[in-house]
Amino acid sequence: MDMRAPANANAVTPRNRRRLPVGGWELALTGLLAAVVVGFGAAAPGFYTGPASLLGLTENFLPFGLVALGLSLVILTGGIDLSVGAVASLSAVLAAQLWSRFGVDIWAAAAVGVALGGVLGLVNAGVILRLGIEPLIATLGTSFLYGSAAVAAAGAEPPSGFPGGFTALGTGTVDGVLPASLAGLVPIQLVVFAAFAVLFSALVARSPFGRVLVMVGYSPDAARYSGIRTGRVLVTAYAVSGAMASLAGLVLASYYDAVRPDMGDVLLLTAITMVVLGGVSIFGGEGTVAGVVVSVLVLGFLRQGMLIAGFSDMVTTMLTGAILLASIAVKNLFNRRGTGLANQIWAMIRRPEPPRANPS
């Protein structure tokens, strides 16, 4: 095109101004995490009795984190998946039954369980897209279906007492692969979670799928007009959410060395809290996986610390609610679009710049 060298073009090619994919929110959460860990380490005897005990605490909450990672994809599209708890229960129960009733190898049964979770996610997406039902209602409905299927499949005496290799998934540490000095230190759960955290972060921040996922989240219409097949994006997000929920269910089964048809119920609300505290907007589009990962650690260590310090579950839950509300209030004050109260105050203090945009 012959407008390559116009006289009044930008003299210098504009570059990116920010380099890091994390913003102020992620940094603030990291500060909060440090405060929680150091605070409990100093004030609650028994919270820190060595690196192994600290890392070992994560085994109590990382299943929530696995659910939160998958759920964050769905919430980034502007949707919600309320069936994650029921999916976790149903997959774990069915995998356990495959092993106990039909003699299938436990790892093969677990793989079938994760695949089943993906299929249940596809069903969710089908209900949302084909029947045109809001994600909130659609997944509430399917969560009842999946949950009662889990009760039916579990029978009177659900299986328990898995082979030792399988229970290591929930309670074992990584030995042999890592240097000898780390033997008995790093839980397998933590390695699994870290691997998925890195994978999901790359997926959302830099993969073509992540890009269209965020576009659909911010503006489904604009995505459609850009030639994006938005239905496929949603189908993938719900399928991944289902598979991650199943994985969490299987880790829980391994951790408890048993399955119960209601074992996944506790996952849902905590996982949603983790995603939202992590900075993902429930309206879609905004948020990073890094934020969700830090938020998983913040809420997880907070709960474990409170329990060790002797507070009841009630106080811990109350505090979680308060932190969620306070942090979202703070976030809204500094929201990225620059319209928050704190931003406006800052704009008044700051030296005026020459006008760039022209409203109206």
Partner 1 sequence: MPGLYAAQGIRKSYGTVQVLKGVSLDLKPGRMVTIMGENGAGKSTLFKILAGQVPPSGGTLSLDGAPLALASPSAAHARGIYLVPQEPALLPELSVAETMFVGALPTRRGPLGRVDWTAMRARARAALDALELPIAVDRPARTLSIAQQQQVECAKALLRGCRIILFDEPTSPLTSHEVEHLFSIIRRLRADGCTLSFISHRMDEVLEISDEVAVLRDGLLVDVVDRPSFDRTRLLSQMVGRPMKAVPRRSVSNARDEVALEVRGLSDGARFHDVGFSLRRGEVLGLAGLVGAGRTEIAETVFGIRPAAAGEVRLGGETVTGLDCHAMIRKGLVYVPEDRARHGAVLPMTITENVTSGLLERVRRRAGLLSARDETRISASAVRDFRVRCAGLDQTLRELSGGNQQKVVFAKWMTTGPRVAILDEPTRGVDVGAKEEIYEMIDAMARDGMALLVISSESEELVRLCDRILSVYEGRIVAELSGAGITPAAVARSYLTAAAPSGGVAA
**Site residues (CB under 8 A) for partner 1?**
1-4, 6, 8-10, 13-18, 202, 206-208, 211-212, 214-215, 218-219, 221-229, 285-286, 336-337, 347, 352-360
Which C-beta is closer to partner 1: that of 117 or that of 284? 284
Q: In this structure, what are the phi and psi dihedrals at residue 294, rounded to the nearest 5 degrees? A: -65, -40
State in angstroms the smallest separation of the CB of 78 from partner 1. Answer: 13
The CA dihedral of 321, 324, 326, 332, to the nearest 10 degrees, is -150
State in angstroms the smallest separation of the CB of 122 from partner 1. Answer: 21
Tokens of 82: 């309320």
Tokens of 297: 């650690």
Which C-beta is closer to partner 1: that of 73 or that of 306? 73
**3-state secondary structure at position 304:** helix
Which C-beta is closer to partner 1: that of 131 or that of 347? 347
State in angstroms the smallest separation of the CB of 241 from partner 1. Answer: 21
State in angstroms the smallest separation of the CB of 211 from partner 1. Answer: 6
Ramachandran region, residue 312 (left: φ > 0; alpha: ψ -120 to 50; beta: rest):
beta
Q: How far apart are CA 237 and CA 226, in angstroms?
A: 19
In sequence order, which residues have a C-beta less than 8 Å from that of residue 295 and are 6 or more positions away? Answer: 29, 68, 274, 275, 277, 278, 279
State in angstroms the smallest separation of the CB of 6 from partner 1. Answer: 6
State in angstroms the smallest separation of the CB of 278 from partner 1. Answer: 18
Which C-beta is closer to partner 1: that of 1 or that of 177? 1
Which C-beta is closer to partner 1: that of 3 or that of 180? 3
Which C-beta is closer to partner 1: that of 7 or that of 156? 7
Tokens of 342: 């704190």
**3-state secondary structure at position 184:** coil
Q: In this structure, what are the phi and psi dihedrals at residue 177, rounded to the nearest 5 degrees? A: -75, -45
